[in-house]
Chains A and B, each alone.
Chain A
Amino acid sequence: MNQKEHIFTDAMIEALPEEQMPERLHGKIMKRVFLAGYGKYLAFSGAILCLNLSVLSFDLYRALTTADATKALEGLRATFAMTPAYFSSAISALYRILPLQSILATLFTIIVSAYITTIFVRVYRNPHGIKILKM
């Protein structure tokens, strides 16, 4: 190649236009990065929450299937009425049967699980990457 040809080739390469990037690629990249960085933490917290929920569910099931609890629940069923007095007595009966800390712990676990799931799904579905976390 002579000098003129060299310059011509250089100019042609330099003049190459940028390739058009697929529209959703940025989102795909950030999803992969998010999963690579936080996937293991999400999996770990999900596993802990599932275990917690299982233990609490078992605890509540055991409390509801004792002889006293069964008797109390049958009594509530037999005296069912759409009155404030009935609901008041039903709540106090359930409060006696079920440990308050188990109910609160179960509700807390469900809320945290729902929050984590929502964040994860929003991040995963968002085609524009993870800017949604700024919200």
Chain B
Amino acid sequence: MSTIPPETIERARKGDILAFEEIVSTFEKPLWSYLVRLVGSRDDAEDLIQDTFVKVFKNIKTVDPSKNIKSWIYTIATNTAYDFLRKKKRQPTVELDEEYETKPDNASYYSVSTEDSVETKDVAAAITRLDLLYRGPIILYYKDGFSYEEIASMLSIPINTLKTRLSRAKKQLASLLVNYE
């Protein structure tokens, strides 16, 4: 459910930039974490979060205030990030399908620990090393608490495909965690 009152969304829809700032303030922190983990770079995430909110502002009139605005904002963020990663890979025409499994080249923000136990930073590092296809679903489901239906709608994929990706993502994550207990 949206944590923004429908009246605030309605005011933002009418062009009230202060109401829009309330929306930004509510979602910027979780969205920031999501984008940093998705692209693996704080610099890129900084550009992407700005682009995302500009798109949200330009399209706010199309949103239904009674629906979940959080899901809508995350859809825009996800598409913006995937477009960016596609361009970065110089594969602008490639679709994100099962064959498209991209290893991140920008996972330098995180590095896997050499210590014996698995730490949260190891998990964070391993997530940025997941195939692009799996990174989004695993963060959206386990970290941001979206339902299967919401994520499937965001990524425009069937729920069964999403479940398969989540299962594969966890397997890949486990194999990446070299010190996994």
Contact = CB atoms under 8 A, between A and B. Distances in A.
Interface of A: 1, 5-6, 8-10, 12-19, 21-22, 25-26, 28-30, 32-34, 36-38, 129-131, 133-134
A133 B17 contact: yes
User: By CB atoms of chain A within 10 A, which of B37, B50, B118, B181 has the most?
Assistant: B50
Interface in B117-145: 118, 120, 123-124, 127, 138-139, 142-143
B interface, by DSSP: helix, strand, loop or mixed? helix
A6 B142 CA distance: 12
Interface stretch (B2-10, B52-60, B70-78, B96-104): B52-60
Interface of B: 15, 17-18, 20-21, 24-25, 28-30, 32-33, 36-37, 42, 46, 49-50, 53-54, 57-58, 118, 120, 123-124, 127, 138-139, 142-143, 170-171, 173-174, 180-181
B20 A33 contact: yes
B33 A18 contact: yes
A6 B50 contact: no
A13 B29 CA distance: 17
A21 B18 contact: no
Nearest to A28: B50
A18 B28 CA distance: 11
A13 B143 contact: yes
Given A9-B174, A133-B17, A32 B53 contact: yes
Contact of B54 (A8, A14, A32): A32
B123 A29 contact: no
Given A12-B118, A33-B54, A130-B17, A22 B25 contact: no
B46 A22 contact: yes
Given A14-B143, A130-B17, A21 B29 contact: yes
A32 B52 CA distance: 10
B138 A13 contact: yes
Contacts of A37: 15, 17, 57-58
Contact of A19 (B25, B33, B142): B33
A60 B54 CA distance: 43
A15 B50 CA distance: 27
A8 B36 CA distance: 23
B120 A16 contact: yes
A19 B139 CA distance: 13
Contacts of B54: 32-33, 36
Contacts of B36: 19
A8 B177 CA distance: 12
Contacts of A129: 21, 24
User: By CB atoms of chain A within 10 A, which of B30, B127, B138, B170 has the most?
Assistant: B170
B45 to A, nearest CB: 8
B18 to A, nearest CB: 7
